Structure 1
Amino acid sequence: MQYAKNDAKEWKQVEDSEMYESDRKHDTNVPQRQGHRKRPPNGWIKCNTDGSFINGNSLTTAGWVIRDSDGMYSGAVKSLGQRVQRPLESELQAILMAIQHCWSLGYGKIVMETDCKTAKEILHDNKLQFHVYNWTRDIKWWCDKFEDICFQ
């Protein structure tokens, strides 16, 4: 809950990237995390995704939050996914579902943000993992439907 409050505080305080960086470094009341949220460019939306994995016998859950280039909340979704065997598959499944949702809402330019470094590396073609090839292929197929999309 504290992280959600801090994220809301960060978005509210951001006026530009430079001010954001200097304010964040000096704010001692905010617990420090690796990385932080940044606004998307004008005309883009940002979709923050997260997948949840318990074990291979349970359905996964996924969630995502959508914000516009002004940092305004545009929606959030929680969804049940398929059973998967690895946490990485759960993260990729969450990204796929969020992309499909954004497409259904008619968004054209999207920044997809994930907390999974490996998923980002795979989607940037910097890492190859055959066991998630089908998830990667499906994500890239959906990406072609957008005017522009990037992963961070």
Structure 2
Amino acid sequence: MILEFNLAILGKQSRRLVQFLDSLLAKVLQGKYFICSSPLPLNKAHNPSYGWTSTMVAKPLISLEIRQKVNFENEIRIWEDRNFLLFRKQILQPNVTVDNACADVREWISHLCSSSPTVSNTSAGSSLHALSSWKRPDQGFLKCNYDAAYDLNSNQVRGAWIIRNCYGHPYMWGSANLGFANSSLVAETMALLVAMQNAWIGGYSDMIFEGDSEILVTTINDHLTNYNLLEEINSLKNKLSTTTFTFVKRNGNQAAHEIVRHGPANSIFENCKVYPPKWLTPTLYSDIMLSY
């Protein structure tokens, strides 16, 4: 127990040494042990003091979780750009490095999407850019995408929704069987209503509700008709503080579409706030990367 306590204290000291390189202690140790680098990469030192040896004992503990900032002095190379510095002695501009990194991530996502059977509802020749046109909400707002699956034979309706912040991170998603409807427009309205109900139950406000039914969005925004479901929507709208309704084409509503496709086969209600399922992850990554 004493050993673990001592390691924890030494780890804290090591972390502060890395975090506060402008401190007097850091400058003194830097002059002797790590003149041109950080203390983390060092494996041994010539004739080290007892204090330095004790501090380095805890280095493996903080190396497990530490991160280093990529700055404009090109101390760290990411992806293949590091080879330009190491072998060609060329320093690329930071924006070039970032562009190359984003291109590599898009290529990875494109391969992931093309190899996943759950993201195959577009034509085989479609590019990744055609897969998503989802836009992030402004900071301070949350966007809820919703969608409905309407069975023309049985008239059964299943609805789905997903709430994300301005960084594209999901807060809540779920799906449910909603009963029966006599048209696809009513089905979309039912899906929007259950999405708003869950947003209100979750305590969210300043919402943007986005769906791929242009007729429904126009009907709500222009107050073209007034039936029971729309009355409930307007009532919930007042409870959710700032609320807007927007239209997006199907390729910008892929996340909600995937959720409604994988919805419960029976009347079981699914609502989750933890981790997105594996079949939803490629779509979420695509939306995040292509919304920059």
Q: Do both proteins adopt the same fold according to a TM-score greater than 0.5, normalized to the shorter chain?
A: yes
Structure 2 contact 144–162 (Cα < 8 Å) conserved:
yes
Of the three residues 150, 159, 162, the one matched with 1:53 is 150
Q: Which structure has the bigger radius of gyration?
A: 2
Structure 1 contact 56–85 (Cα < 8 Å) conserved:
no
Q: Does 1:150 align with 2:248?
A: no
Show structure 1 runs of 4+ deviating over 3 A.
none
Deviation of 1:42 (Å): 1.1
Of the three residues 124, 128, 150, the one matched with 1:30 is 128
For residues 47-102 of structure 1, give each alpha carbon's deviation from its aligned partner in whole angstroms, at most 9, with x where no partner exists.
00001111374431001111011111212101110211000000000000000000
Going by fraction, where is helix more abundant, 1 or 2?
A: 2
The answer for the alignment partner of 1:86 in structure 2 is 183
* Identity, % of aligned positions: 24
3-state DSSP of counterpart to 1:144: helix
Structure 1 contact 56–84 (Cα < 8 Å) conserved:
no
Deviation of 1:124 (Å): 0.5
Deviation of 1:32 (Å): 2.3
Of the three residues 115, 122, 140, the one matched with 2:212 is 115
- How many residues are matched? 123
Deviation of 1:111 (Å): 0.5
Going by fraction, where is strand more abundant, 1 or 2?
A: 1
For 1:118 and 1:93, the matched residues in 2 are separated by 14
3-state DSSP of counterpart to 1:106: coil
Q: Give the letter aligned to residue 232 of structure 2.
A: D
For residues 101-125 of structure 1, give each alpha carbon's deviation from its aligned partner in whole angstroms, at most 9, with x where no partner exists.
0000101110000000001001101
3-state DSSP of counterpart to 2:158: strand
Q: 1:56 to 1:141 in 2, by over 3 A?
A: farther
Q: CA RMSD for the aligned pairs?
A: 2.2
Alignment of 1:128-147 (within 5 A): 128-129=224-225, 133-147=227-241
For 1:148 and 1:56, the matched residues in 2 are separated by 38
Flag structure 2 segments of 5+ consecutive residues without an equivalent. 1-105, 110-125, 247-292
3-state DSSP of counterpart to 1:38: coil
For 1:134 and 1:45, the matched residues in 2 are separated by 26
Structure 2 contact 142–206 (Cα < 8 Å) conserved:
yes
For 1:106 and 1:114, the matched residues in 2 are separated by 21
Structure 1 contact 100–142 (Cα < 8 Å) conserved:
yes
Deviation of 1:147 (Å): 1.2
Flag structure 1 segments of 5+ consecutive residues without an equivalent. 1-5, 10-27
The answer for the alignment partner of 1:25 in structure 2 is none
For 2:155 and 2:216, the matched residues in 1 are separated by 21
3-state DSSP of counterpart to 1:32: helix
Q: Does 1:95 align with 2:192?
A: yes
Alignment of 1:6-25 (within 5 A): none
Q: Give the letter aligned to residue 30 of structure 1.
A: L
